[in-house]
A and B are shown apart, each in its own frame.
Chain A
């Protein structure tokens, strides 16, 4: 069964705006990770947040984790056209990652 569920499924914003993507999951996790996939390419790891962490930053990325609600959010600030991609959350447990369906982000120049 699928673990991560992202929403929205698709997001279109103007360059410079912030993009917020959400992920919900069902079972206990060791960590939660976010990945980006550009068209025709493999997934690229963006950020990992452990189950005992609540917030993490990396450059223009901010990730939060609420284990009581089994949810996470990824915020991309000051978006750029190059941020156009699909974004996936993945929950890590028992040496295995389970990916959500992904969110398609389009950033209009």
Chain B
């Protein structure tokens, strides 16, 4: 009965590879988010989708491409991975507006 689930939990890969992270929520929310948390725990918004429409697109390299097939799913594809991409990526969901967000447990991405 997990509310926001993301897979995989751990992702270890080499520089230059392409990888995807998947996220699903069963809370009936209409808005989903991707955040990046660095080693100092700073959490930064990357993207947000509302009913499959991109509404927030922060200054993120275009190697990162989100995709929302429906309002319950938001995936993140990363091309040509770089060392600086190592971080924990969190998916979250909420109702539209500055409402309380529900977070997944994160995907720990390590680039070798």
Contact = CB atoms under 8 A, between A and B. Distances in A.
Contacts of A102: 41-43
Interface of A: 2, 30-31, 33, 37, 40-45, 48, 86, 88, 92-99, 101-102
User: For chain B, which range describes its interface: under 10, 10 to 19, 20 to 34, or 35 or more residues?
Assistant: 20 to 34
B48 interface: yes
Nearest to B55: A95
Contact of B90 (A31, A33, A43, A94): A43
Interface stretch (B14-22, B61-69, B77-85, B97-105): B97-105
Nearest to B90: A42
- Determine the main DSSP class of A at the interface with B: strand
Interface of B: 4, 31, 40-45, 48, 50, 55-56, 90, 92, 96-106
B56 A97 contact: no
B106 A42 contact: yes
A96 B56 contact: yes
Contacts of B96: 95
